[in-house]
Amino acid sequence: MEYHQDRFEDHSLMVYKNDKLLAILPANKKEDTLYSHQGLTYGGLVVDHRIKLNIFATLFQEVLRYLNERGILKLEIKLLPSIYANLPNDELLYLMFILDSKLMKRDTLSAVDLNANLNFSKNRIEGFKRANKHELVLKEGDFDSFWNTLLVPNLRKKYQSSPVHSLSDIKLLRENFPKNIRQFNVYYNDEIVAGTTVFETDRIAHLQYIASEDRRSKLGSLDFLHMQLIKNVFADKSYFDFGISNENQGKTINSGLMLWKEGFGARTVTQDCYSINTENYKNIDSIFI
C-alpha cells in the first residue's frame, strides 16, 4: 500500500496473543472513524485459515474494544466477496448481525465460474467471429500504450475522471508483483484497439481496467479480448471477475455494462460495506452459551 500512503492516514492494526500474530486489519483513519482501508478494493480481518469462529469473534471484539477506548466511534468495513476466500468465510458477516451493524453499500460483481459449462451469448460469439475476420491479435505486456492511448483518454472523455492508478503507480505495482499484475492488449494492423489490466490470484483473474477505441463493435475487439482470456489464458482459474457495474453507492446498475458481462456467462456476487458502532463490542460477549 506504500505507493499511495500520502493519500491516507494509515491506522492498520495487528492482533497478537503473546508474541504470535493472529490477525491483521489494513485500515486508515479519518476523524473518529476507522475505515477498512480505502486504498484497497477488498477488506476485512485477515486471519490464518485455522482460526475458528469463537477465536475470530474474540479477535474482532478486541479490535472494536481497542478502537472504542481510543475515541474511534465507528468502523466502516468492507467484506471480502465469497469467491475470493480459500475457505467459507462468513464469520464477519455473522458478526455484523450480532453487532447491529448498518449496511452502507452493496455492490454487485459479475464473475464467471470457470468450472461451470460456459454459455456465451449469441452477440459475444458474433463479436468474436468479427474479430477473427479482422485478424485481431492479442499480446501481453504494454502498459504505456494502454494507459496513454485508451484508458486515460476514455475516462477523461466519458466521465471527466482519471484512473485510480496512474501509469507510474501501476508500473511500480507490477515491479513489486510481476506474477499478479498483467496487461493484455488487442491489436488491429499493429494499432492498439482494446486492452485490460488483470490482477491475478491463485484462484481468480480480476479485471481492474477495461478500455477500447470506438470501433469495438465493428471489430469485435472487446469480445475477442475477453473470450481469449476466459477460454485460454485463465482457463485454469476458478473465477474470472469482471468487477462491479454499480453506481450511486451500489443502488443503481449500469444495465448495458452488466448485460455485456453476463454475455460471457458472468453471474452476480455481492460485496458489502458495513458501519459498526465500536461501543457495541460488548454484544459479542453473549454469543456463545
Q: Is residue 251 situated within a structural domain?
A: no
Domain co-membership, 93 together with 23: yes
Sign of CA dihedral 13, 40, 236, 172: negative
Domain co-membership, 58 together with 159: no
Helices (H), 12-110: 53-69, 91-98
Q: Is residue 249 situated within a structural domain?
A: no
What is the span of the domain harbouring residue 208? Answer: 116-237
Domain co-membership, 79 together with 131: no
Domain co-membership, 149 together with 53: no
For each successive 10 residues of the chain (289 residues), what is the average pLDDT?
82 94 95 93 88 96 97 96 91 97 96 92 97 97 96 93 93 95 97 97 96 93 98 97 92 95 96 97 95
Domain co-membership, 62 together with 15: yes
Q: Residue 249: what pLDDT?
A: 85
Q: How far is CA 49 from the centre of its chain?
A: 21
Cell of 59: 479477535
CA atoms of 67 and 13, how far apart (whole Å) = 10
Domain co-membership, 223 together with 154: yes
CA atoms of 245 and 247, how far apart (whole Å) = 7
CA atoms of 147 and 156, how far apart (whole Å) = 12
Q: Residue 271: what pLDDT?
A: 94
Which pairing describes strands 13-17 and 46-47: parallel, antiparallel, or unpaired? Answer: unpaired
Domain co-membership, 147 together with 209: yes
Domain co-membership, 84 together with 171: no
**What is the H or E stretch that residue 229 is in?**
none
Q: Is residue 88 situated within a structural domain?
A: yes
Yes or no: say if 267 and 113 are a contact pair by the CB < 8 Å rule. yes
Q: Is residue 186 situated within a structural domain?
A: yes
Q: How many domains does the chain have?
A: 2
Helices (H), 20-121: 53-69, 91-98
Strand partners, 20: 17
Q: Residue 266: what pLDDT?
A: 97
Domain co-membership, 91 together with 6: yes
Q: Is residue 257 situated within a structural domain?
A: no
Domain co-membership, 84 together with 124: no
Q: Residue 71: what pLDDT?
A: 96
Q: Is residue 246 situated within a structural domain?
A: no
Q: Residue 7: what pLDDT?
A: 84
Q: Categorise residue 44: left if φ over 0, alpha if ψ from -120 to 50, beta otherwise.
A: left
Domain co-membership, 17 together with 129: no
Strand partners, 199: 181, 206
Q: Is residue 252 situated within a structural domain?
A: no
Q: Is residue 17 situated within a structural domain?
A: yes
Helix axes 122-133, 221-228, angle to 10 degrees: 100
**What is the H or E stretch that residue 43 is in?**
none
Give the pLDDT confidence of 187-233 residue by residue, as tens digits.
999 999 999 999 999 999 999 999 999 998 999 999 999 999 999 99
Cell of 253: 446498475
Domain co-membership, 10 together with 95: yes
Cell of 134: 479482422
Output the domain CATH number for residue 203: 3.40.630.30
Which pairing describes strands 239-244 and 204-212: parallel, antiparallel, or unpaired? Answer: parallel
Give the pLDDT confidence of 262-274 residue by residue, as tens digits.
999 999 999 999 9
